[in-house]
Structure formats: structure tokens, C-alpha cells
Structure 1
Amino acid sequence: MVAYQPPHTITPSIVNLIARISEEVGRLTVLADNSKELRLRRINRVRTIHGSLAIEGNNLSKEQITAILEGKRVVAPPREIQEVRNAIAAYDRFDDWSVKSEADLKEAHSVLMSGLIDEFGVYRRSGVGVIAGERVIHMAPPADRVPTLMQDLFAWLAATDDHPLIASSVFHCEFEFIHPFADGNGRMGRLWQTLILKGWNSLFADIPVESLVFEHQEEYYYALQQSTKKADSAPFIEFMLKMILDAVLSATPYDTPHDTPHVKALVEAVSGEMHRDELLSVLNLKDRKSFRELYLKPALEAGLVEMTIPDKPKSKNQRYRLTEKGKGLVYN
């Protein structure tokens, strides 16, 4: 029997989210089996790396990350380029690592943080805290407790009967609480959760959960704070499951993004410059989340639709219009 049990309550909301995710993953697995690869597999990988590093302050665009992935020269701060190269190398090593191996976790940290910090691949030797702006939002346990806490966490992960969706979220939450490394804890926690999910279903190697977390960064930190405050991972589990569901919904396999009926419908609905609510009305949609994930984001990523205020994506005055590429599409 495992001595340590991370405290986590399974709420009705969590149960419902697991059911929805399982259903969508099942549907996606069937679709992917009939397709050569997941829709825009490379773009999903770029979205994952961009999301995880952007949370940590990396300013490289998706286009720059794509160029690095393709071996092209990019003019940018050397540290940010190194972060991207390390992340690419780490995600390429997924098949080499066991989620239950503490040694593999340290090796993954070495790959992610090599050339960025002095103490990579080893647990921290001093105190650390999580800082948001000028505010300290979490002080991690003392460094001398880290080895025991991590051994307990891995022992629990190896023995737990919890569904992987829950186990991965609990591990992620506990990992961030312990903050075992001097730096890189955020990206490591997210990477290891993805690795646990990949063990449940291999599709998660190419589902960009981290890009959704980046878009909801404040909620991510708030959920961590709430779980720490309540000594219960439930708030964080629920948050991560919502992000996972959104990511799965956005990962429908199609050869190109404008092949989807959702994107076709959106492109045909855009007339001039339109507010999101106008588009929802024209498309006869009520669920804003589904509209964002299935219609708007793929159209934006494909360069078919653009924002009128690109530097303020969440502006209440934001409108959307067709690009020249979008205007050039003709659907029969």
C-alpha cells in the first residue's frame, strides 16, 4: 500500500468531463485511423511548444518556431531559440521515457533546460517561489524535502488506479506544488502530464493541450492556487480537464483546415467586418467555446480569416474579416 495519497476530490463536474473527453477521444481515434495523420500534426506540435514556452515568457511566434523546426535560420534572442530547440528535442524523445521513472523525469529536464540553466537534470538545492508580476503566489517546500516528496509522488503514480485523466492532472498539480527544479518546473509539469496522457491514448502526443493552457494562463495559475489553498487538487483537475476537452475538440483530422465543414461555414458567413456575436447569430450557434475551437481558431490558423485588432485579440471591439486567401476560396 502506498503511504502517500495526494488529496483530490472527484466532483460530479470532473466525472462529466471525463465522460465527454473519453467520448471525443474515441471518436477522434476512429477518424485518425482512417487518416494518414492527425490534422495538421506539425502545426499542433508547434502550437504545443509555442503555448508552453509563451507561458514562461518566450516571445517567438508560431511562424518562427515552425522555421526552427524546419532547420531554417531565425533572427531572435539566442536563449529563446535554445528554448525552442530544447522543447522540440524533448517532444521527439517521448517514446524513450517512462512516466513512472524519476530518472527519466530528470533526463527530460536535462533536455528541456540544457544550455539555459546550470542545474539541469538535478533537483534544486535552494528555496524557490512562483512569482506572478511582483507578487509571490507560492513558496515551494524546502529543498531538503524535495527528494522524499518526489519519491512519494512517483510511488503514488505507479500504484494509483485513478483514470489517467485524473492521475495526470493530480501529478501535474503536485509537481507544481513541490517545484522540484531550480527552473523549468512549469514546462516540465505540462510535458509530464502530456506524457501520462499519451500512455492512455497515443493521440495525445499531437493534441495541443498546452496552447489552450497558454490562452487561459491566469485561470491556470488561479486553479493551482485554489488547489494549494484547499489542499485538494480538484480545482486544478477540473481546469485541466476543460483544457483537454477543448484541445481534443480542436484536433479533428482533416487534410487541410479549410476542408472542415465548420471552417467552410464560417468563411461563407463572413461579410465585411463582423463581431463574434454576429457570426454566432449568422451560424445559428450558441456555444461560444465550440465556435472558437471548431470554427474560428482553425480559420485564423489557416490564414482564411484575420482579426481587425490583432495586437488585442480579446478586445471587445474585435472584428473578423476574410483575408485575400479566404476571399479566394470557392466552395461548391
Structure 2
Amino acid sequence: MSPQYKPPYSITSAVVKLIAEISEALGRMTVLADQCRALRLRRINRIRTIHGSLAIEGNTLSEAQVTAILDGKKVIAPPREVQEVKNALAAYDRFDTWRPEAEKDLLEAHRILMSGLVDEAGMYRRGGVGVMARKEVIHMAPPAARVPILMVDLFNWLAATDAHPLIASSVFHYEFEFIHPFADGNGRMGRLWQSLILASWNPLFADISVESLIFEHQAEYYQALRASTRQSDSAPFIAFMLRMLLDTVATSAPQVTPQVTP
């Protein structure tokens, strides 16, 4: 274990500007007076989040099919893809009970998210793993024997860092994907945990669907991961994620219609 471990990242002026703009956009978001509408918004965004995160991993189910599964209806689709949606719904139901800095919570989240899909659900991988783009290996993760040590270091850093949560969550996300601690499900877990870190800072992030925007910019997402690895600095990934967060917050803010009196 390395008590002084600090992931390599630098803060650019663009990142500082994005943090300011996100904070300003969050300030404009107000609590909806109509509780029913607020609950409906949460439901819609939860469906978009699950659909976006699984679509990035190749799940072909539509938002309508995800909604049907949420409502307990039967869906004609590949059993594995239906199981992925059911697992994701179960995981997000537990979202509010997990703590970002608790390693045991991350393992529990993976167990729920990957139940019935992999043999090692809820356990760190025991073998080597690489990230593929078509037939090309674009990233070889650290050896399995080092995963527990690297994850302890990463959680210790997260618990102790004074970095802004927008930066800390993005750094954690990148480092998590670099380590690739699980045999499968690393992408959806990394995105889930960044959302959890952000929601512990500002509860609005529990109901904001960043996943759908990442899905729309999937190529840039992987490009930012690769650029950060090449530079040994997660700055490119931080900047990408902050742009996605800004766009999501800006489009999630309720629109205010001017009141006109006779």
C-alpha cells in the first residue's frame, strides 16, 4: 500500500473554466415544486442512464424496452441483455446506500450489476485482461496480482484528496478504467462510481443522465481514455468528462417560462 499515492493529473485553464460553468449551471437548477413531476423526471433519467450505460457495452435494448422491464413486463430480447437491464435496475435501487470511498460497496455494486453474467461477480479478476478495439489491443491492464493493492491505493486517495469533486470523480473514473479491476463490467462500474462520487457532493447528480451523452460521444470517450494513457496524465479524460457533465447539467435544468399577466 502506498499512503502517499497520487494519480497523475494536471489542471488546465479549460478544466477550471468548465468547473465554473458546471457550478453555475447547477446553481440555476431548482427543486421542482411538483413532487410527482420530480419523481417522473427521476424515473425518466434513470431509464436513460441505464440504457446509455448498457448501450455503450453493446446492449441493443431500446429505452422503451428498458421501461417495460422496469414495469415488470415481458420483453422479447436476448436473455443476457434482459438480465443486464434487470441487474442495472437493481443496482441503481441501491445507489443511495453506497459510499464512494467504501471498497466493499464497490464490490457489492459489481456483484449486483454482473449477477448471472460472469462467474466472478463481486470479485476482482484473477487473470490478465486487455481492452480491445475490433481486433486491436489498445490497453493491457496491470497484472491481476496488483489489482487489490492498486484499488486500495485509489480508494485511500479518494478518501483523502482535497481535489474538487468534479475533478476527483473524473480521476477516479480514469484510474479505475486503467486498472480494469474486474473480468467484465469495468466500463459500467466506472461510470456508476463517478456518478456516485458526484451525487455525494451534489444530490442533483443522482438524477442526471450523463450516460446517454457519453453514449452519443462514445468514440471521444475511448479516445480520451487512450490519450490520457499515452500522456500518463488523466487531463484529457478530465476535460472530456467535464464537457459531458456541463452539457448534461445544462440540458437537464428545468426551463423557466415567463409568467405573463393580462
1:47-73 CA distances to partner (integer Å, 9 max, x unpaired)?
110110001000000000011111111
Instruction: Describe the superposition over 1:280-301 as per-residue Cα deviations: whole angstroms up to 9, x where unpaired.
Output: xxxxxxxxxxxxxxxxxxxxxx
How many residues of Structure 1 are paired with residues of Structure 2 in the alignment?
254
CA distance in 1, matches of 2:176, 2:42: 28
Name which structure has the greater RCO, CA cutoff 8 Å, separation 6+. Answer: 2
One-letter amino acid of the structure 2 residue matched with residue 146 of structure 1: V
The alpha carbon displacement at 1:148 in A equals 0.5
Whether the aligned pair in 2 keeps the contact of 1:164 and 1:196 (CA below 8 Å) is: yes
Kindly indicate whether residue 179 of structure 2 is the aligned counterpart of residue 186 of structure 1: no
The corresponding residue for 1:103 is: 104
Instruction: Tell which structure's C-alpha radius of gyration is larger.
Output: 1
**Alpha carbons of structure 1 residues 39 and 247: separation in structure 2 relative to 1, 3 Å:** farther
In structure 2, stretches of 5+ residues that fail to align are 258-262
C-alpha distance in structure 2 between counterparts of 1:146 and 1:41, whole Å = 35
Counterpart of 1:87 in structure 2 is 88
Q: How does 1:1-332 map to 2 (within 5 A)?
A: 2-28=3-29, 31-36=30-35, 37=38, 40-253=41-254
Q: Secondary structure at the match of 1:166?
A: helix
Is the partner of 2:226 in helix, strand or coil?
helix
Cα offset, 1:34, TM superposition: 3.5
Quick one: distance in 2 between partners of 1:208 and 1:14? Answer: 21
Query: 3-state SS of the aligned residue for 2:181?
Result: coil
- TM-superposed CA distance for 1:40, in Å, is 2.7
Contact 2:53/2:211, CA 8 A, preserved across alignment: yes
Please give the secondary structure, in 2, of the residue aligned with 1:32: coil
Q: Tell whether the 8 Å contact from 1:39 to 1:251 is kept in structure 2 after alignment.
A: no
CA deviation digits over 1:145-200, x for unaligned, max 9?
10100000000000000010000000000000000000000000000000000001
Q: Percent of aligned positions with the same letter in both sequences?
A: 69
Residue identity in the other structure for 1:248? V
Q: Is the contact made by 2:15 and 2:238 (CA closer than 8 Å) also made in structure 1?
A: yes
How far apart, in 2, do the equivalents of 1:67 and 1:94 lie? Answer: 21
- Contact 2:28/2:253 (<8 A) preserved: no
Mapped to 1, the partners of 2:198 and 2:42 lie a distance apart of 17
Q: Distance in 2 between matches of 1:2 and 1:149?
A: 11
Distance of 2:50 and 2:21 partners within structure 1: 26
Query: Residues 244-272 of structure 1, C-alpha deviation per residue, up to 9 Å, x if partnerless?
Result: 11111121236xxxxx76xxxxxxxxxxx
Structure 2 contact 138–226 (Cα < 8 Å) conserved: yes
* Deviation for aligned residue 1:233: 0.6
Instruction: Say whether the 8 Å CA contact 1:17–1:242 is kept in structure 2.
Output: yes
The Cα shift of 1:33 comes to 4.9
Structure 1 runs of 4+ off > 6 angstroms? none
- Root-mean-square deviation (CA, aligned residues, Å) is 1.4
